[in-house]
Amino acid sequence: MSEHPFVDTDFHKSDRSGNLGCVEAAITRHTPSSVGLRDSVHPRDTVLLLSNREWIAFTTGLDRLK
């Protein structure tokens, strides 16, 4: 695969993020067991790849901040 797996993937950000910069998440058929995260302000920069387990830990931690 010459391109990274998140090319032409629709990233989504939280409805609660407003107009401020935030993290966007995506799942692609190329990596169905992983979630890609990127900075919405710099969408062409690095995509961080999390396993499903890491994604659950990440979102659980965010829920605890509420």
Q: What is the mean pLDDT of residues 34-53?
A: 89
Q: What is the pLDDT of residue 12?
A: 86
Beta partners for 38? 24
Secondary structure (3-state) at 39: strand
pTM over 0.85: no
| Most confidently modeled range among 13-17, 21-25, 33-37 | 33-37
For residues 19-56, b (16+ Cβ closer than 10 Å) or e, as one string? eeeeebbbbbeebeebbbbbeeeeeeeebeebeeeebe
Secondary structure (3-state) at 51: strand
Q: What is the mean pLDDT of residues 51-56?
A: 92
Handedness of CA 37, 6, 4, 42 (dihedral sign): negative
Q: What is the pLDDT of residue 18?
A: 65
Q: Where are the domains of the chain?
A: 15-64
Give the mean pLDDT of the chain.
Answer: 82
